[in-house]
Structure 1
Amino acid sequence: MLGLAAITLFVLCAFVLIGLPIVISLAASVLFFLAFSGGWELALPQQTLGGVGDYILITLPLFILAGGIMNATGIADKLFDFGVALVGWMRGGLAHVDVVASVMFGGMIGTSVADLAGSGSITIPKLKAHGYPGPFAAAVTATSSGIGVLIPPSSPMILYSAVTGTSLGALFLAGVVPGLLMAVVMMITISILARRNGWKAMGTFQWSEVIRTGKYAILPLGMPGLILFGLMFGVFTATEAGAFAVAYALILAAVVYRTLTFANLRRAMVDSCILTGEVLMVVGFSTALGWALSQAGVPAALANGLETVFPFENTTLKIFALLLIALIAGMVLDPLIPMIMPVLLPSLMVMDVDLVHFGVLMVMTVVIGQVTPPVAIALLVAAKIGNEDIIKVTKANTPFLIALFLFLILLTLFPALSTALPNLLK
């Protein structure tokens, strides 16, 4: 059975690399395994349906819709102006604004590609207009969009919670500090590049401008904080938090800013339905494939392999080995978490790894995978928005990719960066 599992994974990778949509690639791989294994004609369809039956996944379309409403009604422009007032005075100021905008967008939208589509259409043209190289503009926007999947609400964390049964509230809390630290890492990298290339600041820091723009941005920025507060103190459940986010976004757009129209509401709902459908189909087929690989003995073989390579009790090295597997898979597979976690989870349980900490590491792995060739979906989207050559964008992204790898190592070696906040607020 291990041989069949290996061939199935090869078929999956081959389908992805030749350009088939990931949903079709997964479905074809499941059918391939079913055709040559025999006896699981009922089990695999049941696993597919069961994969999308977890109640926690109800939050996914709700948070996506909330972010879509915020994006479609122009609230993003107000956040961008606030970011300019906060960090535009720094050397390479507009690139720093890009990072700060991703922090604010991420807190509303929760998916890096949606964040990229929202902020990238604003920041990439502005960066190029201010004299920044086009490939750099696309690269910094693509990489900083990954902050959005660490800061709650986060769609990859929702998927991780559904696959592993880990508390969604704990995962949301665990992502706050790493998300902010990733922003700091990005800004340090930008400062080094700005000094090397002679990029200037946008102006001087003015409290009056911070206050003026901040009063328009404070309400949308309050949404992530209110969600975390409600989850921590039992005001609402995770699914109710998603409904709250939609209601909050509608009130802001319709009552406070008065930018909600039937046209942009329709666009937000249609886009959210399409994205949710794509993600849930991936989750369903990934669950079936993960179950099939488990029945074939892949998790046990992986655990035995780790014990052979690392026979001593060094959990950190074993975590690094699992992350390396996830990183390699993340370079060609997107979304990564629902596809690989069913395979890795048994090994993590045997090793008694903190699933909250590993969840943050997996989300960080997703961020790196989305800006690492050969697929690099975030770089592709940013290059398309900026009308830039993908090879040049990939080259410009190298300093940020190195910084993210170092940051992942830091998060792995110091679990408290992820677990301190949820442990403190238990």
Structure 2
Amino acid sequence: MVAYKSKVVERIELPSRDRRERALAEAGYNVFDLAAEDVFVDLLTDSGTGAMSDAQWAAVMRGDESYAGSRSFAELESAVRDVMGFERVVPTHQGRGAENVLYGALLEAGDVAINNTHFDTTRAHVANQGAEPVDCPAEGAHDRQSDEPFKGNLSLERARSVVDDVGAERVPLVISTITNNSTAGQPVSVENTRRVREFADEIDARFVIDACRFAENAGFVRRREDEFAEAEIAEIAREQLSYADAIVMSGKKDGLANAGGFVATDDEGLFERCKQRAILFEGFPTYGGMSGRDVAAMAVGLREAVEEAYVTDRLDSVGAFAGLLEDAGVPIYTPPGGHAVYLDAGAALPHLSDDEFPGQALVCELYREGGVRGVELGSFAFPDTDRPELVRLAVPRRTYHAEHFEHVAETAASVLENRAAIDGLEIVSEPETPELRHFTADLEPVSP
């Protein structure tokens, strides 16, 4: 059942193939450098790209722009308390700002941070503190055809192996990302969250939940974890988050906003350290780099994110998109996640080796063929890690309709019909920070 109707529309058009060819070459075969007006269906990210509700736009008009003591901040505090269960909030301009604030307060050089799977900015922030990010994905997490319900879980066996190798004193931080973006948006069970909490206590570490997509994760928990089959989404979300010492949040995902993020905790000492770092890097603690309008919109969005109709529509629409791709013969990671469909670029372009970046080659061909922009999350984005060659097609919230998804599926099918003619890519230039190279590196086709 469709949960929304449109009040405002934006005209878009598919640029000519010649224009797409030129744009791709001028962008150095890196779709981050494409102009948005040259993109027809933009699935680069679901971060801050969704459509806000009428209630959020009303909140924008009421936003309090006071530098200190803003009414909008009080509304955000109330929403975080009611929806997520935490009393103390440190706002930031977006999720990576929250990562900088929190991980800068918790990590030092020589530390090790354990995560179910670090995403790009998380990995970079850990490394920026001189610490080592270590992934501990669940067994079978990279099996794209496995029907395991919680492939996003953190492997306690692997985590204990890390502690045995480096010593508990070097592991002050354990992180669980829900849903697990780097593992194809797969959910994390509440039972796994409880066990990770116990593990963190065993080694005297802080337990942090990256809660960017906490509501989508709660939706999967209700569908797949028997204990919560009759529970409300809001109830599940609060239960799962209650096991964390702190959460880091991008409000641009399940805050349903175009900007914003925060750290939340009940630990007074940690809160004070985060607040002081936020003043240095983000702004005064009652606006955190956001306008009052942004804060107000995110406060409303957090409440909307746990509404039953919203979560059901979100998971069902992404699942339907996955079905269109499967019906078109496109190899995808299954079951699909809640915010994106992940294509298996290794299976789609088997004639390309990993060092020819098959995922990035597939991203470029999707744009060249149909003006569709996705993002590579394989060996190009995550160098020197053991991850499959995936392409993420992230679905902006409440934005695209069935016709757009049909166009993407038709585009992907056309690309695969001519896959043998697709060349690999090589890097021409890249930044000094390897964890972030996919944002700004330039590439070119490998000469046949």
- TM above 0.5, yes or no, is no
Report the TM-score when normalising by structure 1.
0.34
Report the TM-score when normalising by structure 2.
0.33
Bigger relative contact order, structure 1 or 2 (CA pairs below 8 A, ≥6 apart): 1
The structure with the largest strand share of the pair is: 2
